[in-house]
Structure 1
Amino acid sequence: MKVKDYAADHIFSFLCLAVSGLLIFALLWLIETPMVFIFFVESIMLTAYLCAFLYDYWRRRNYYTQLWKILDRLEEKTLIGEILVRPDFLDGQILDEILRRCNKYQNDRLADAKQDSQEYREYLDSWVHEIKTPIAAARLIIENHKNTTTLRIDDELRRIDGFVEQVLYYARSAAVEKDFKVEKTTLHALVNSALKTYSKPLIQAGGRPVFCGLDIPVCADTKSCSFIIGQIISNSIKYRTENLQVSFSAYEEQNAVRLLISDNGIGISSADLPRVFDKGFTGDNGRRYSKSTGIGLYLCKKLCGKMNIGITIQSDLGQGTTVILFFPQESYLQEAGL
């Protein structure tokens, strides 16, 4: 709060002071009061007003400066009403009470929203586990009654199972770190785990995997990393060309291990490339392939962020796509407490 701004806000009181000073001067002059006494009276009145003005400005400035500092430092802005010191001037006390009531209302609404969100995630978790039972039962029935029709049904059930798994990770994405189990493994094990799920679709698409240098140890959550790699494989199958090939290679750096997953598919345009991790973004490829949802890479990015794994994507239209996963070594071990 600046003095000039505060003075401009009190311009009416200055005008009242000036008018009252002139009236007192005129009255004392009419009754022939000596000028020295008139000057003395005017000085007392002006000094009293200025002292009151400066004191009021000082306490208000201190309060509002403190208020701004607290607001800047506070991460949860809605808690400001709970930690404010009650001011000693009336309009500040009114503002303080309004802030406290507004903050309480807002915090209550946020608590209700978080509770609803938590209940919704718990319901989705429960639904996913429940729906997996009939899917597994149906696939078991198909296994015992194999024919052309049941095998086609099995393919569709596998797709449904993939979408159900995607729903599960999406529901857990807000607090997925609570389900992490960081353990020592290898890139080869992570890739094989993902390929077990997508081996049949890959074979049906006429594709083949190629491995190079995957016997590198890393520390990661096997389940989440397998899901991420699986989503990348799924995209390679979805946006394939003839003679599909998915290559998995890796090499070590000073503090990280890079896993490169490359395909020879249709690629991604340079205009779409910066947005491929955005939620719901499908781009030009999504317009040509109606099966695109724009959720897979978004979940990959979110899960990688939770696990302290870097992810980037490189692609040229018509030249294939390469997704790179960065597995930190020393820093990740320290963060995981291993």
Structure 2
Amino acid sequence: MWRTIYYFIRERIGWISLCVLQIFFILIYLYLYFYFHKQAFDLLIADWGYLLLLTGTLLLLFLVIQFIRWYPFYRRTELLLHEAEKMDDFGHLGKVSLAEHKRFYQVMRRLYQVASQEKNQYEDAHQQHLEYMNLWVHEMKTPLASLSLILQKMDIHALPEEERNHMKSMEEEIEKLNDELDKVLNMARLDDFATDYHIRPVSLLESVREVIHHKKKSFIRLGIFPKIEADQDEDWEILTDRKWNQFAIEQIVQNALKYASKMEERSYLTFRFLKKKKSIYLLIEDQGPGIPKQDLPRIFDPFFTGENGRRFSQATGMGLYLVRKVFTALSHEITAESEEGKGATFILTYSIHK
């Protein structure tokens, strides 16, 4: 309250100064007049105190009335300044009494209308873009599915070795395209995440098994072996959205496979399950080249590819960024540890469902 009164007085210090100066000059004038005319000078001296008290009381009364009319509007704007979370909070400021507040309110209403129009235009454009992206991804998936079906129907073993290698390369590229299209589709849907997720109890162990099954061709082709280390008697149930959580795990696995495959020796991708207090931890450990120390703090930044991305493959730098974004929306946590040349470990933290 004292800070509010300070703001009120500070804005009206000019009025107060003018009023005090007027009183001062009037008193000086009266003093000089009666001093030189020697008329009722003693009476004037006695009445100065009453004059100052009267003018001071009137000034104080004026300021109190102004403050009573000014404070409700100031209080509402102060609350908006510190507590407003969305644009619609500024749509109504309540009843205003002072003329300057009414003008300010009119400006605010006009600003709100303009902002609402721009917001609606942006949302319409965004929705059109999202619909186009969904349509485009599905249109691209149709010919890819046809190509994949054609490859499956072909008797690859009857072909010469060189052609078999070409077919395997084609199958690998089709798989990469499918993965990237899924990434594009999920990235477009992330902006509308609130309408596209359902939190419920999910078995984390079963989710990991489904991801491994979905990526089994990649595991076989790249010569990397998945290994699950979990107590089968434990309950690995968590609260999450099954689809989005599996998407995030798939992105981590895809990254691990991509970089671990660049190593000359065959390796393992280990899924280690731990339970401590009220949390379940999933550690995904690869035996790839590891992440350079200087890159580790930035691997979740958008479009950051790092030294490995430039050295081993044409990385987009969006996979881990999407993982962090999904995990943040789901209230999960993800961190990474790595030592260059000794692989990387991604630590996924979930709350236990009870």
TM-score, scaled relative to structure 1: 0.84
Name the amino acid aligned to 1:150: M
Equivalent pair of 1:86/1:96 in contact (CA under 8 Å): no
Structure 1 spans left out of the alignment, 5+ residues = 332-338
Give the SS at the match of 1:239.
helix
Residue among 98, 108, 111 paired with 2:117: 108
Supply the RMSD in Å over aligned alpha carbons: 2.9
Query: How many Å apart are 1:73 and its aligned residue?
Result: 2.4
Structure 1 or 2, whichever has the larger Rg, is 2
Cα separation, 2, equivalents of 1:43 and 1:185:
77
Partner of 1:8: 13
Query: How many Å apart are 1:80 and its aligned residue?
Result: 4.5
Equivalent pair of 1:188/1:214 in contact (CA under 8 Å): no
Cα separation, 2, equivalents of 1:7 and 1:182:
55
Give the SS at the match of 1:324.
strand
Partner of 1:153: 170
Name the amino acid aligned to 1:52: F
Partner of 1:225: 245
Deviation per CA, 1:136-181, whole angstroms, max 9, x where unpaired? Answer: 0111122223443333222111111000000111011123353335
Partner of 1:334: none
**Distance verdict in 2 for CA 1:252–1:269, change over 3 Å:** same
Partner of 1:236: 256
Partner of 2:159: none
Cα separation, 2, equivalents of 1:80 and 1:15:
41
Partner of 1:64: 74
1:212 aligns with 2:229: yes
Name the amino acid aligned to 1:242: E
Partner of 2:65: 55
1:314 aligns with 2:343: no
Name the amino acid aligned to 1:206: G
Residue among 162, 169, 173 paired with 2:190: 173
What percentage of residue pairs aligned between the two structures are identical? 25
Deviation per CA, 1:267-293, whole angstroms, max 9, x where unpaired? Answer: 113332222222222222233234221
Give the SS at the match of 1:10.
helix
Equivalent pair of 2:237/2:353 in contact (CA under 8 Å): no
Query: How many Å apart are 1:105 and its aligned residue?
Result: 1.6
Residue among 285, 291, 298 paired with 2:308: 285
Give the SS at the match of 1:330.
coil
Bigger shift: 134-143 or 13-22? Answer: 13-22
Cα separation, 2, equivalents of 1:177 and 1:46:
60
Residue among 312, 318, 326 paired with 1:303: 326
Give the SS at the match of 2:91.
helix
Name the amino acid aligned to 1:249: R
Bigger shift: 11-20 or 216-225? Answer: 11-20
User: Number of matched residues?
Assistant: 330
Give the SS at the match of 2:18.
helix
Equivalent pair of 2:224/2:269 in contact (CA under 8 Å): yes
Give the SS at the match of 2:215.
helix
Cα separation, 1, equivalents of 2:109 and 2:194:
34
Equivalent pair of 1:71/1:80 in contact (CA under 8 Å): no
Give the SS at the match of 1:318.
coil
Query: How many Å apart are 1:117 and its aligned residue?
Result: 2.0
**Distance verdict in 2 for CA 1:207–1:330, change over 3 Å:** closer
Name the amino acid aligned to 2:326: L
Partner of 2:132: 123
Cα separation, 1, equivalents of 2:90 and 2:209:
54
Deviation per CA, 1:83-135, whole angstroms, max 9, x where unpaired? Answer: 31232211121112111211222233223223322332232223222321111
Give the SS at the match of 1:293.
coil
Residue among 97, 107, 110 paired with 2:106: 97
Cα separation, 1, equivalents of 2:268 and 2:230:
17
**Distance verdict in 2 for CA 1:33–1:115, change over 3 Å:** farther
**Distance verdict in 2 for CA 1:217–1:57, change over 3 Å:** closer
Equivalent pair of 2:201/2:353 in contact (CA under 8 Å): no
1:260 aligns with 2:277: no
Query: How many Å apart are 1:320 and its aligned residue?
Result: 1.0
TM-score, scaled relative to structure 2: 0.80
Cα separation, 1, equivalents of 2:175 and 2:214:
9
